[in-house]
Structure 1
């Protein structure tokens, strides 16, 4: 798969995750090794990764994910497109059946003052590494999606995962092989509508 195809067809996969096919340890290891090559602010490398396979842990985390995901869709996402809601509900229903759940974490706690610079430094590396992880999965025939429902009750999730108090969860990535392989580029606004030249609102060309 060439890089342009991989970048334009790495979708958020929910409905088409193969819940019955095991995911090999070596595949996750390889994808994490690639993720660790992502840029990181000041080369801090303060990311840590929880790879969850234990069914008991998945059941506990899945119950929390389901409660919060269901509540979020009912409260906040009622106006979203039906196809998006359908795929979201499906993942909520089957989350503990996904072969592997990966929780990217950071050592430390986010800055209390919410200063944009400090927040960017704190989170800047882990999100790039998470996307690299997802791209590496795609190149190997696996699907994933970036989810955060469990963070609505982060303290409870941390207790399930036995996280130290000074570790911050940043997302939950369900990982599985996919039931199809022919993912296509998604509909997106043209560059001319979302990019500007030099000043906000100035056409790019």
Structure 2
């Protein structure tokens, strides 16, 4: 059993941040530590208790590089899109400053994704053609487990970041890793030990701006 950081539940939930610039690319991640965290993730809920998730752990340097190249290409396309400009130019000065830091760290991760010692892809058994209607029920059977994995990693001194831009090349990555056609990818988590432990709650909009009681 891996030693856990002395964090109470609220600290764990409020200080598990997306770690990009502070990932340690040189320190190996033991597989037994990763397995411990994944065992915790498997306790997450899934629709009708189907537990249809799959976890593809990529440590091979050549495969990590290829996935990193796909990710970088997808990120470059996103960075040049109107959506990117809108996401990082809206709000007041404080908000824009925060978004500027987020953009800088996201660009850094895109450049170094292939250097991260472990890439974990969370996937789900599903039909080859995803439902055209609301997909909340489908992905609700994977994403809670992926977040549980991030929390379990944090408790063990490891950092991660929620990413999905690799999905532009989902078919190519599935072929690279031998993932069956009926298994669809939902999230890519770069995983590494982090440098420094000064994580704290992030700025968020006031609760009363988003809270609705008994109606809108």
| TM-score, normalization by structure 1 | 0.93
Structure 2 distance, partners of 1:11, 1:94, is: 18
Structure 2 distance, partners of 1:37, 1:112, is: 25
Please give the residue correspondences for 1:146-165 in structure 2 after superposition, counting only pairs within 5 Å.
Answer: 146-165=162-181
Instruction: Describe the SS at the equivalent of 2:43.
Output: coil
4+ residue stretches of structure 1 with deviation over 4 A?
110-113
- The counterpart of 2:114, out of the listed 92, 96, 108, is 96
Aligned residues: 198
Q: Which residue of 1 aligns with 2:160?
A: 144
Structure 2 distance, partners of 1:169, 1:109, is: 12
Please give the residue correspondences for 1:167-178 in structure 2 after superposition, counting only pairs within 5 Å.
Answer: 167-178=183-194
Structure 1 distance, partners of 2:84, 2:128, is: 27
Structure 2 distance, partners of 1:12, 1:174, is: 10
Structure 1 distance, partners of 2:130, 2:15, is: 37
| Cα RMSD after superposing both structures | 1.3
- Go from structure 1 to structure 2 and tell me whether the alpha carbon gap of 1:112 and 1:168 turns closer, same or farther (over 3 Å shift): closer
Q: Which residue of 1 aligns with 2:208?
A: 192
Q: Which residue of 2 aligns with 1:86?
A: 104
Structure 1 distance, partners of 2:175, 2:78, is: 22
- Displacement of 1:59 in angstroms is 1.1
- Go from structure 1 to structure 2 and tell me whether the alpha carbon gap of 1:147 and 1:125 turns closer, same or farther (over 3 Å shift): same
Do the aligned residues in 2 keep the contact of 1:73 with 1:85 (CA within 8 Å)? no
Q: Which residue of 1 aligns with 2:142?
A: 126
- Displacement of 1:110 in angstroms is 7.0
Of residues 76-85 and 65-74 in structure 1, the stretch that sits farther from structure 2 once superposed is 76-85
Structure 2 distance, partners of 1:94, 1:128, is: 26
Q: How big is each residue's C-alpha offset from its partner over 1:143-190, in whole Å with a ceiling of 9 and x where there is no partner?
A: 101101110121112111211111100010000011011101000012
2:54 pairs with 1:48: yes
- Go from structure 1 to structure 2 and tell me whether the alpha carbon gap of 1:112 and 1:134 turns closer, same or farther (over 3 Å shift): closer
